[in-house]
């Protein structure tokens, strides 16, 4: 079993969407997927907009926020963050994880290499745009991971 962890700030928008979308993409594979936030409030549900956008994709994701911790760092084979600030924070608190922490865009070689914009507090359309961006990156990720097997 290979394990991937997606990380954002509060674990209510970007990383839960990435987790659910990747889980769907990798269904039937040997990849296990989770998500966490660097400043998450434990147990908080995903934002209503994220839940709606996932439902529009045919995904029912009953999510509860998890704060990043040492156990998750050890659990993960690959940690993909939504922003450079998340990567920096993880590496500063868990330097032993440095070799397995990347931004999602960095890992898939996205041209702009920037951050995935946080839709928190935004409209459903902003969440849709974010989910579309994440899906494109996850498709690249899946192609990359499939080539490595």
Catalytic residue among 14, 34, 115, 130: 14
Catalytic residue among 3, 57, 67, 118: 118
- CA–CA distance from 2 to each of 18, 33, 34 (Å)? 16, 9, 11
8 is catalytic: yes
Residues 6+ apart with CB under 8 A from 120: 9, 10, 12, 13, 47
Give dist(CA 108, CA 61) in Å, integer: 25
Catalytic residue among 8, 13, 23, 130: 8
Give dist(CA 37, CA 133) in Å, integer: 19
Give dist(CA 113, CA 34) in Å, integer: 23
Give dist(CA 111, CA 92) in Å, integer: 26
Query: Which secondary structure element, helix H or strand E, spans residue 2, and what is its range?
Result: strand 2-8
118 is catalytic: yes
Give dist(CA 14, CA 53) in Å, integer: 11
Residues with catalytic annotation? 8, 14, 118
């Amino acid at each position: 079993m290979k394990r991937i962890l997606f990380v954002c700030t509060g674990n209510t928008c970007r990383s839960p969407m990435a987790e659910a979308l990747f889980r769907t993409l990798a269904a039937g594979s040997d990849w296990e997927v989770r998500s966490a936030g660097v400043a998450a409030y434990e147990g908080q549900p995903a934002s209503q907009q994220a839940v709606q956008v996932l439902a529009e994709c045919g995904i029912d994701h009953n999510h509860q926020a998890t704060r990043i911790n040492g156990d998750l760092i050890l659990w993960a084979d690959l940690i993909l963050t939504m922003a450079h600030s998340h990567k920096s924070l993880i590496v500063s608190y868990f330097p032993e994880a440095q070799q397995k922490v990347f931004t999602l865009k960095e890992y898939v070689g996205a041209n702009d290499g920037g951050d995935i914009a946080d839709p928190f507090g935004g409209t459903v359309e902003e969440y849709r745009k974010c989910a579309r961006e994440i899906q494109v990156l996850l498709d690249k990720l899946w192609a990359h991971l499939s080539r490595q097997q």
